[in-house]
Amino acid sequence: MDFKDEGIYEWITADYLFGTIKASTPPDTPAYAILYLGGASTQIVSKPIFASSDMQLEEGEHKYNLQFGGRNHVLYQHSYLGYGLMCAWRHVHRLVNFMSTLQGTKAKAVVDNLCLAKGTWRVMTFKDEGTLGLLRCVIGWCKSANSNHAPQRRRLTLPPLLLPKRTTRQVCQGHDEWLWNHWGTGSELMAELADRPEWHLDLTFMHALLRLGYEFEDGREAAIGKKIQGMELGWCLGAMIAMVGGEMKCWI
């Protein structure tokens, strides 16, 4: 399966569980968009709602026609390979290491990393691969995120989104802040925070991706979760629904 298809199946999973694309769903029911952040890529899939009936999505690889539930859904989809969470870890840690070498830091040294929570640490091993790849990666995101094919926000209906800025600030403060002011009674959460210093980096990257990459305003709200009606979100359920239903046709 092409990695681009994962986003389509994830969209089917979410909107099927929300009841927006079933055969019994009223025709004018708006569908939910999905923003998926994996380890290697981030994906967006939405069903655009345009201001005028004579407006439509331009042709191209971003356009996906989906026949499902007896109806045709014209979707916008794009996968940004190389901008997943694990890729972000690797690029940021490499950059921190590179900047430390400019200051004359020797091998096996302790280096300050502002992308880790206060008082936490992580042992990292690096190979000297230069900075050209990092520069190319940053330029590539600027070009792809500004694609002319992406529907303008004023013409596109997306679900509300709450950017994790406040949570990021709380996580950044470190163990004492977690314990005394926020999550001291949650032993499992405290253990997870202590075991994964990159939680601060994760949330910062998510905020930057949504705010700068997808250009969402800070005031947007959303429900974020891993399950709907007790069912795990992901592409597997969407693929199974498509296969069992036997009525899905897709073409680009």
What residues are annotated to the active site?
A: 6
Cβ-contact 62, 8 below 8 angstroms: no
User: Is 243 in a helix, a strand, or coil?
Assistant: helix
Q: Is 145 part of any known ligand binding site?
A: no
Q: Is 53 part of any known ligand binding site?
A: no
User: Is 216 in a helix, a strand, or coil?
Assistant: coil
Chain-centroid distance of CA 217 in Å reads 16
Q: Which secondary-structure segment (H or E) carries 34?
A: strand 34-37
Q: What is the 3-state secondary structure (H, E, C) of 158-215?
A: CCCCCCCHHHHHHHHCCHHHHHHHHCCCCHHHHHHHHHCCCHHHHHHHHHHHHHHHCC
Q: Is 219 part of any known ligand binding site?
A: no
Q: Is 42 part of any known ligand binding site?
A: yes
Q: Is 187 part of any known ligand binding site?
A: no
Q: Which residue ranges are tagged as binding site for ATP? A: 39-43
Q: Which residue ranges are tagged as binding site? A: 39-43
